[in-house]
Amino acid sequence: MRRLAFPLVLTLCAAATPSTALAGGARATRNVAIVIYEGAEILDLAGPSEVLQAAGSFAGEGDTPALRVYTVARSRDPILSQRFIRIVPEFSIADAPPPDVIVIPGGNSDALSKDEGMMKWLRAATGRAEVTLTVCTGAFPLAETGVLDGKEITTWYGAIPSLQKKAPKTRVVSGRRFVDNGKYITTAGVSAGIDGALHLVARMLGRRVADQTARYMEYHWTPEAYLTTGYSYWNPSTDQRGRAMQRAELAADEKRWGEAVVELRRLVAARPADDTAWLYLGAVQGEKGDHRAAIAAYGRVRASSKRRAEALFQTASEHLALGDRRTASRVLSQALAAGFSREHAMHDAKMAALLAEVGSTSSTRATSTR
């Protein structure tokens, strides 16, 4: 695994902080509400949730994600998905933040349609939201609000006749993974929600972020050629700094290390407290082979930063590359103490071996003090 990808993958797997990838945007974080209800299909909600959470991290700037994903239900009481998975909603409709993006999964969508409180919230929230994405039979409750009248829509192939009967003023089509009406995107069944969510990401945050997300998920995403002409390659929600960050990332992707370093040094000079930029500069310096410069860059990540544990781990890796196992072990211990996950450390073979030594030393010390 490339050094540049390593901190990013750990961050995404941890689902804790924004990514090291520098495709940042100037816009405020968009709120993404995943609507859940009794009997919601798990992949209908999990697929888009995974896409949007990862994309929000890839497109984030510093410690600010581009998307904040959360679940919303009638109340905060646990709901049962597919009769065996219990999910505790983060918010109820009474206290949920106003969503910019709404995802309505399918499954037992009648439970949603028959809940007057949920439908009242849904009408108001979808009216204000930037976009609403339905998956599978999640199109039914949205169609009942009337907002899809006169539009071409889709759903799970087995529910197409029922939806056409339920929403006679629409045209329900088959053979399409998703249909985009601008404010409303409807997708076919289950896994099609992933395609619809990636399309939405490409539309909002650029094709590059969608591709990064699909690659991270190991999902084979091949959008139709006619759709790609409408995607901006770079994140369109950016300011000058965001575009500079994207240039640095492109240079690094193409192994033009010197250019990436120059761009990143400009960024940290303009904003010394940007811990993510320092982390990326360290990663580029390390990939370039300048391990001491990498250590210096990682050292600029503030002690109070959420990224401190990651910076310490990468510092330990650079000391190991210099052949200084003693310092590497000491710094690795500091990284673990700061909250870096042992499980994530095991993804790097060399660091995993060092981790075993650190664990062995710790056990020996513990035994000697008894």
- Residue 154, pLDDT > 50, answer yes
pLDDT tens per residue across span 43-81: 999 999 999 999 999 998 777 899 999 999 999 999 999
| pLDDT of the residue at 64 | 84
Q: What HEC string does the chain produce?
A: CCCCHHHHHHHHHHCCCCCCCCCCCCCCCEEEEEECCCCECHHHHHHHHHHHHHHHHHCCECCECCEEEEEEECCCCCEEECCCEEECCCEECCCCCCCCEEEECCECCHHHHCCHHHHHHHHHHHHHCCEEEECHHHHHHHHHCCCCCCCEECCCHHHHHHHHHHCCCCEECCCCCEEECCCEEEECCCCHHHHHHHHHHHHHHCHHHHHHHHHHHCCCCCCCHHHHCCCCCCCCCCCHHHHHHHHHHHHHHCCCHHHHHHHHHHHHHHCCCCHHHHHHHHHHHHHHCCHHHHHHHHCCCCCCCCCHHHHHHHHHHHHHHCCCHHHHHHHHHHHHHCCCCHHHHCCCHHHHHHHHHHHHHHHHHHHHCC
- The answer to whether 44 and 135 have CB atoms below 8 angstroms apart is yes
Q: Name which of 8-12, 29-33, 262-266 the model is least confident about.
A: 8-12
| pLDDT of the residue at 224 | 86
Residues 264-275, mean pLDDT to the nearest whole number: 95
225 pLDDT band, cuts 50/70/90, is confident
- The answer to whether 3 and 284 have CB atoms below 8 angstroms apart is no
359 pLDDT band, cuts 50/70/90, is low
Domains of the chain and CATH, by start? 24-228 (3.40.50.880), 240-368 (1.25.40.10)
What percent of the chain has a predicted confidence (pLDDT) above 70? 89
Write 365-369 long-range contacts (CB < 8 A, 24+): none
What percent of the chain has a predicted confidence (pLDDT) above 90? 77
Return the C-alpha torsion angle 243, 23, 319, 353, nearest 10: -160
Separation between Cα atoms, residue 316 and residue 240, nearest integer Å: 33
Residues 205-225, mean pLDDT to the nearest whole number: 94
- Residue 247, pLDDT > 70, answer yes
Task: Single out the residue of 22, 54, 29, 30 nearest to residue 241, CA to CA.
Answer: 22
| pLDDT of the residue at 3 | 45
Burial class (CB in 10 A: 0-12, 13-18, 19+), 114: exposed
| pLDDT of the residue at 368 | 42
348 pLDDT band, cuts 50/70/90, is confident
| pLDDT of the residue at 63 | 73
| pLDDT of the residue at 346 | 87
- Residue 14, pLDDT > 80, answer no
Type of residue found at 207: R
Separation between Cα atoms, residue 66 and residue 81, nearest integer Å: 28
16 pLDDT band, cuts 50/70/90, is very low
- The answer to whether 24 and 60 have CB atoms below 8 angstroms apart is yes
| pLDDT of the residue at 60 | 85
pLDDT, greater one: 125 or 233: 125
Task: Kindly report the average pLDDT of the chain as a whole number.
Answer: 89
Separation between Cα atoms, residue 29 and residue 55, nearest integer Å: 12
Q: Is the pTM of this model over 0.85?
A: no
360 pLDDT band, cuts 50/70/90, is low
- Residue 301, pLDDT > 50, answer yes
pLDDT, greater one: 111 or 355: 111
- Residue 129, pLDDT > 60, answer yes
| pLDDT of the residue at 27 | 54
326 pLDDT band, cuts 50/70/90, is very high
Residues 82-90, mean pLDDT to the nearest whole number: 96
- The answer to whether 3 and 283 have CB atoms below 8 angstroms apart is yes
| pLDDT of the residue at 297 | 98
- Residue 353, pLDDT > 50, answer yes
